[in-house]
Amino acid sequence: MKKLSFIAIALLTGVANAGTIEMKVYGLVCGFCAQGIEKTLRKNPATADVVVSLETKLVAVATREGQDISDAELTRALTDSGYDVKGITRTQRSMDEIRTGLKQEKK
């Protein structure tokens, strides 16, 4: 029983400390939208970096080591700004990997 509890805690901790949060966000239509989203998300003290792609409707947030931003908090920040969040995924992809992938998609 102790082993099972330890595994469950380890899994939950891994999810809570995921370094990158990727979101599909609709309503992005211009560079001003991207700047507004970036500025809003950077206000959160747990935010380390933000990438916004108008083309793919992707918003990615890297969190600071040991910190997290809840899905509800992210959704609220974006919907209060007039955007529609269609999905939130926590990944281990680095922001560099995301930026490289976005550049390749543009080609």
41-98 pLDDT per residue, tens: 999 999 999 999 999 999 999 999 999 999 999 999 999 999 999 999 999 999 999 9
Domains, the chain, ordered by start: 19-106 (3.30.70.100)
Output the CA–CA distances (angstroms, integers) from residue 41 to 4, 47, 77, 100, in the order listed: 36, 7, 8, 21
User: What's the pLDDT score for residue 5?
Assistant: 40
**How many angstroms separate the most distant Cα atoms in the chain?**
53
Model confidence pTM above 0.85? no
Confirm if 50 and 38 have CB atoms less than 8 A apart: yes
Count of other CB atoms within 10 angstroms of residue 63: 20
pLDDT-based confidence at 101, cuts 50/70/90? very high
Which residue type occupies 70?
S
Alpha-carbon distance of 68 to 47, in angstroms, equals 8
Residue 100 to residues 29, 53, 57, 93, 104, Cα–Cα distance (Å): 22, 12, 16, 11, 6
